[in-house]
Amino acid sequence: MALTKTDPPALGALPATMRAFVIRPETEGEPETAMRLEAVPVPEPGPDEAIVRVMAAGVNYNGVWAALGTPVSVFKMHREPYHIAGSDASGIVWKVGSNVRRWKPGDEVVLHCNQSCGECAECNGLDPMACSEQRIWGYETSFGSFAQFCRVQSQQLLAKPRHLTWEEAASYGLVYFTAYRMLVDRAHLRAGQHVLVWGGGGGLGSMAVQLCRLYSAHALAVVSSDQKAALCRALGASAVINRSEFDLRKHPGETPEQAHHRMSEMRRFGKRIRELTGGHDVDIVFEHVGSATFPTSVFVCSRFGQVVICGATAGYNLEFDVRYLWMRQKSIIGSHFANAYECDQANQLVIQHLIQPVLGEVFPFEEIPRAHQIMRNNEHAGKMVILVGAPRRGLGAHAG
Ligand SMILES: NC(=O)c1ccc[n+]([C@@H]2O[C@H](COP(=O)([O-])OP(=O)(O)OC[C@H]3O[C@@H](n4cnc5c(N)ncnc54)[C@H](OP(=O)(O)O)[C@@H]3O)[C@@H](O)[C@H]2O)c1
């Protein structure tokens, strides 16, 4: 049975095929052309897995990387002939494997995107993020959420916050759970600290700003537009800096004059920070931009402060003056997504209305490639979401 746009199957039954946006090795390139609509077989769940009917799916930067095929092709990470991206979803559990006890068809869920083997010592005593088989679902695995059904490990299922619509519920998982681990568990965020948040109006940044507010820390959000500045203030940022007022970028093959100019711009940026914080340097720098910002992050971080980093949108080969690191005893902390416990703890804060989704533009299913192109071009604010099974916005929320 082929699945059309409008005919959801009976709960528990899986159609033979589904509509999905797929990337194939030969289509890798700009998102607008790399992701193509096809009818593909619906996977069956393994014993510890579930098939979820996707109601809405969040757009993340890893979909851009998957489309581009850089810095590494997803086809080097899994053996499927095609890649269905999408690491965030809200939906309905449709079918479960024989070992699954905690979830049943009909449960409304959101998903976290960490997969691991579940059997090793690291999974069972240390942290599933340390598992040698740890993978990001929808990036390092196929059968992500840009399809009518997706396949997940049952440990990826989390209760959908009842008060949220499908599109709101699909918007926050990947970026929020990542930001939670970075700030709460890796950097041990404390009340009263000053935190510099790069990209405060983006996916990760908008969640980092809210976490700072919730933990009574001061978020200093960096943005590139007035629209994103207003968003950050509304989310609780203590102050906002527009980065276009500073020339911080390190040019390849920098001349001594360019290096001198950049240094004076970094000092001016540090001075602006201290003006906004009442004379304090930042205790934590929330990093995910990489080469364009990292030298500044290390420079402006306080003595004994921490730069916590999870990504490198602008480039992953980082050059910085290490004297500012060792002389002032700063730390660089790597962080990657989050384990199931952290995801659950963070999700509870959404259920309790303490953290809000930051919904940007909402697109119909057919516009998945365009939404990724917008992200690639940095033309968005907050989180973009795709309606998949949900026929229109505003559905899925329950009262009480
Ligand atoms: N390891 C993980 O688990 C993990 C999880 C989530 C995301 N990531 C990575 O983190 C990065 C950000 O993800 P996201 O979802 O937050 O993306 P996003 O929504 O596009 O936000 C990124 C923000 O970075 C800022 N930015 C872009 N280029 C910049 C530059 N040259 N200098 C300063 N700021 C710049 C932009 O803000 P302004 O233009 O307003 O300054 C933008 O809003 C991506 O590379 C993603 O792959 C990693």
Atom 41, ligand 1: residue with shortest CA distance: 223
Looking from the CA of residue 335, the nearest atom of ligand 1 is 1
| Rounded Cα–Cα distance for residues 243 and 337 (Å) | 26
Inform me whether the pLDDT recorded for 53 exceeds 50: yes
Nearest atom in ligand 1 to the alpha carbon of residue 378 is 20
Distance of CA 128 to the CA centre of its chain: 18
C-beta of 193 in contact with ligand 1 (< 6 A) = no
Ligand 1 pocket member 313 (CB < 6 A): yes
For ligand 1, is residue 243 a contact (CB within 6 Å)?
yes
Give me the DSSP letters along 24-68.
-GGG-SSHHHH-EEEEEEPPPP-TTEEEEEEEEEE--HHHHHHHH
Give the span between the Cα atoms of 361 and 380, in whole angstroms: 8
Mean pLDDT of 110-114: 98
Paired strand residues for 209:
none
Ligand 1 in contact with 70 (CB < 6 A)? no
Cβ 186 under 6 angstroms from ligand 1: no
Residue 243: what pLDDT? Answer: 98
- CA 39 distance to own-chain centroid: 27
**Cβ of 276 less than 6 Å from ligand 1:** no
Please, are residues 86 and 52 in contact by the beta-carbon 8 Å criterion? no
Q: Is 117's pLDDT higher than 80?
A: yes
Q: How many other CB atoms are found less than 10 A from the CB of residue 78?
A: 13
Which residue type is seen at 11? Answer: L
Contact 85, 63 (CB under 8 A): yes
Q: Which domains does the chain have, with CATH numbers?
A: 17-171+357-387 (3.90.180.10), 178-334 (3.40.50.720)
Residue partners of 266: CB distance under 8 A and separation at least 6: 248, 295, 296, 299, 300
Residue 5: predicted pLDDT: 55
Query: What residue owns the CA closest to ligand 1's atom 8?
Result: 311
Cβ distance 240 to 229 under 8 Å? yes
Name residues whose C-beta falls within 8 Å of residue 123's C-beta, 6 or more positions apart in sequence.
116, 117, 131
pLDDT number for residue 1: 36
Given its phi and psi angles, is residue 264 left (phi above 0), alpha (psi -120 to 50 degrees) or beta? alpha
Radius of gyration of the chain (CA): 21
Contact in structure between 315 and 71 (CB atoms under 8 Å): no
Mean pLDDT of the region 44-49: 97
| Contact predicate 372/67, CB 8 Å | yes
DSSP bridge partners of 359: 383
What is the number of H-type helices and E-type strands within the chain?
Answer: 12, 17
Residue 312 Cα, ligand 1 centroid: separation in angstroms?
A: 8
Task: Quick: pLDDT tens for 248-304.
Answer: 988 878 899 999 999 999 999 999 999 999 999 999 999 999 999 999 999 999 999
